[in-house]
Amino acid sequence: MSDISLSDLAWITREELSSHMLGSDAAPQLPDHIAVIDVRDSDHIGGHIKGSTWVPSSELDYKTPELVRTLKDKEVVVFHCALSQQRGPSAALRYLREKRRLDPQSKTEGKGEDAKKDEKGQKVVVLTGGFTQWQEKYGADKRLTEGWKKDIWEFGY
C-alpha cells in the first residue's frame, strides 16, 4: 500500500496558474516548465486550458507510466478534471504513486499547502475547482482557454 494519500496533495488556484501563463512578455502560453493534464472524459468538449494535454481518465491505467517518463523534466505538473473533486485528484495520486514505483528512491516532501515536491524538484498539484471554475473566469479569454463554447457552460456544469 502506498504512503501517498489524498491529504498529501497540493493545490493550485486558477489565478496562480493563469499568472504563470500571463507572466512572460511573449504571447501568453503555458511555460515550458509546467504541464497541465486534463483528465476529463467526454466532458472535455466545450474548451480546455491553452497548452494542456488531454489524457482521459479512462486511459490513465496504461498512460500513467508514459506520462511519468515524458513529464520527468517538468517542474510543475497540474492535474484537473471538471471539478477536481475525483478524477483530477485521483490522477495526481496515480501519477505520484507510479513515479514512486518506477523510482523507489524518489521520496516526496511536504503536505497540503506545501506543494508536493520530489527530490528532483517536481511539484504535482491539482487545479482547485477544475475546469468548471477555470472557465467561469477565463473561458472567454482566448489567451488562456482554447475551444471554449459559451453555450455549453452558460447554465453551469
Residue 109: pLDDT over 60: no
Q: Does residue 81 have an active-site annotation?
A: yes
- At residue 58, what is the residue type? S
Tell me the average pLDDT of the chain.
Answer: 87
CA distance 122 to 145: 25
The confidence score (pLDDT) of residue 5 equals: 87
- At residue 87, what is the residue type? R
Span 10-38, pLDDT tens digits: 999 999 999 999 986 666 788 999 999 99
Q: Which residues, 6+ apart, have CB-to-CB distance to 32 below 8 Å?
A: none
The confidence score (pLDDT) of residue 151 equals: 87
Span 34-69, pLDDT tens digits: 999 999 998 888 899 999 999 999 999 999 999 999
* Set 81, 83, 91, 96: catalytic member: 81
pLDDT interval class at 154 (50, 70, 90): confident
Distance of CA 113 to the CA centre of its chain: 16
CA distance 11 to 73: 20
The confidence score (pLDDT) of residue 150 equals: 86
- Structural domains present in the chain: 6-149 (3.40.250.10)
